[in-house]
Structure 1
Amino acid sequence: MRTSLGAMLAAARIEGDGAGYTITGEWMQGRTTYGGLSAALCLAGTLAAHADLPPLRSAQIAFIGPAGGDVTARSRVLRQGKSMTYTEADLRQGEALATRCVFAFGSGRESAIGIDRFPMPAVPAPDACEPLWRKRTPLSFLQQFDARVGFGGRPGDGTGNGDIAYWFRLREPAGIPSAVRLLALADTPPPAVMPMFNTFAPISTATWQIEVLDTGASGEGWHLIRSTAETGANGYTSQTMGMWDEQGRPVLAGRQMVALFG
């Protein structure tokens, strides 16, 4: 039986400046926790420690070391202004630092500017797309998600060009704050260069930056995530990312630096 993210949050050990969580094996990515979960737990711990925060606007995330089992997410306010609040959160296993996040929360206000130049790429609806994994999922944490291929090939099939778009859906979305759900979902795709490999190769995301484009997004249901490699050399790739809901509304924008071992 899978342990859902909602169940993990419900079992949290709430502490003054954050929370303790138990990460079970089905959320692992090799020897460490799936990065989207690490970021989501940092945000969940922040929300537990600091009441009445404005909506999440952006996050800078560094995946510093491995983590699994019992972990703690501790948070502190860096600055609280009239419209923006900045917080820092660390995910640790014992004393070992695994993930560090800086979150920016901001209240909305009226503006003369209204721009939307971030259209969803043209892909078939999820039900018209093939499953991403032909057999079993290659990593434990992927069992938490449904996945369909929009375009760009599959990891390890040697057909890619560094531009992928996959549909993803969290299988058990209940009991999760919306912003936490978005972070848990948004890191799901493999690096954009993975379909360029002829076999699976180890990877490790080093840093991840996201911007929340729709603070009212729930993170429930299908979301299209596009990742496009801009550079790839010397064992690293830099990629841009975008996420849209099934209605085509932009939800997140981001970029990642990923270490490649193949």
Structure 2
Amino acid sequence: MSAAELIEPIGAQGGALSLPDAADWLQGRTLYGGATALIAYTAAIRAFPDLPPLRAAQIAFVAPAGPEMELRRDIVRQGRNVVQVRSEIWCEGRCALTAFWLFGTARDGNASHEAARLTPFPAPATDSEPMMTGKGPAFIQNNFELRRAQDTSGPGEPVVRRWARLTDHGALDPVSELILLGDVLPPGAMRAMQRPGPISSINWSFNLIDTAPATQDGWWLAENACQQASGGYSAERLRLWNADGAQMLDGQQCVAIFG
């Protein structure tokens, strides 16, 4: 099931949604977090099609999400410029995901400051080594292309950086692509783990730096960097750049580190 097929049956009315072919998107016993975030976002924008551009989001991965779900969404507040929408995924009678989406129209600016560029910027994706070929979860193998974007491997500085794109890039609008890709890498804390063990995203919040993101040939540079890890949790910073080095998304995440 492609990303476009995943969200195709989501209607404006919300309610029950069945995705019997979504096994390709499973990560353990739940759907991949980026997929559930995309489902929740799509439910919001299809229910309320006249929303201004997306600016930010706060997403909580509350419980495992399966292929049989109920979609709920409502406008929490609509002001002159900003609209805040809540969307939820319910599975088996309990909330599996809850999200707040902040949409806002542009205003005359009273501040101007460009996002810092990553230096040194890695070699282009087309010149970089493919990764995860024939390895990893099915949702990676079937839906994403990943390429190396850093020289280090194995233990070391707790940062994971990869070029990433959808196999069917261009089938989604760019904002939806970023939401689907934003959680695709393992946490930077993976490089600081003392032994192999399972990991699980608990939440994800982000600011969309560019409300009309664009890149070349579908390639985005993704980075997960551990800010601090202890007690079985890691505080992560998640960022995405386009192929020209302009930052598109800046986020934070709490990750559970088991084992």
Same fold (TM over 0.5): yes
The residue type paired with residue 201 of structure 1 is G
**Contact kept in structure 2, 1:57 and 1:215, CA below 8 Å:** yes
The question of 1:208 aligning with 2:207 is answered no
Tell me the SS of whatever aligns to 1:6.
helix
The total of aligned residue pairs comes to 255
The question of 1:114 aligning with 2:115 is answered no
The residue type paired with residue 97 of structure 1 is C
Counterpart selection for 1:46 from 44, 47, 60: 44
Match of 2:225 in 1: 228
> Cα RMSD over matched residues?
1.9
Q: TM-score, normalised by structure 2?
A: 0.91
Q: How far is the alpha carbon of 1:112 from its aligned partner?
A: 3.9
Q: How far is the alpha carbon of 1:110 from its aligned partner?
A: 2.3
Counterpart selection for 2:55 from 54, 57, 60: 57
Whole-Å separation in 2 of the counterparts to 1:250 and 1:42 = 24
- Describe the superposition over 1:184-216 as per-residue Cα deviations: whole angstroms up to 9, x where unpaired: 011101001113347642001111111001111
Match of 2:94 in 1: 96
Q: How far is the alpha carbon of 1:82 from its aligned partner?
A: 0.4
Residue segments in structure 2 that go unaligned for 5+ positions in a row? none
The residue type paired with residue 118 of structure 1 is A
Residue segments in structure 1 that go unaligned for 5+ positions in a row? none
The question of 1:165 aligning with 2:164 is answered no
The residue type paired with residue 108 of structure 1 is A
Match of 2:103 in 1: 105
Whole-Å separation in 2 of the counterparts to 1:40 and 1:177 = 11
Match of 2:173 in 1: 177
The residue type paired with residue 139 of structure 2 is F
16-25 or 214-223: bigger deviation: 16-25
What pairs with 1:24-35 in structure 2 (closer than 5 Å)? 24-35=22-33
Q: How far is the alpha carbon of 1:218 from its aligned partner?
A: 4.5
Label 1:163 to 1:152 Cα distance change in 2 as closer, same or farther (>3 A). Answer: farther
Whole-Å separation in 2 of the counterparts to 1:21 and 1:181 = 22
**Contact kept in structure 2, 1:56 and 1:106, CA below 8 Å:** yes
The question of 1:129 aligning with 2:128 is answered yes
Match of 1:193 in 2: 189
Deviating above 4 A after TM superposition, structure 1's stretches of 4 or more consecutive aligned residues are none
Label 1:198 to 1:234 Cα distance change in 2 as closer, same or farther (>3 A). Answer: closer
83-92 or 177-186: bigger deviation: 177-186
235-244 or 16-25: bigger deviation: 16-25
Q: TM-score, normalised by structure 1?
A: 0.90
The question of 1:76 aligning with 2:74 is answered yes
The residue type paired with residue 86 of structure 2 is E
Label 1:31 to 1:251 Cα distance change in 2 as closer, same or farther (>3 A). Answer: same
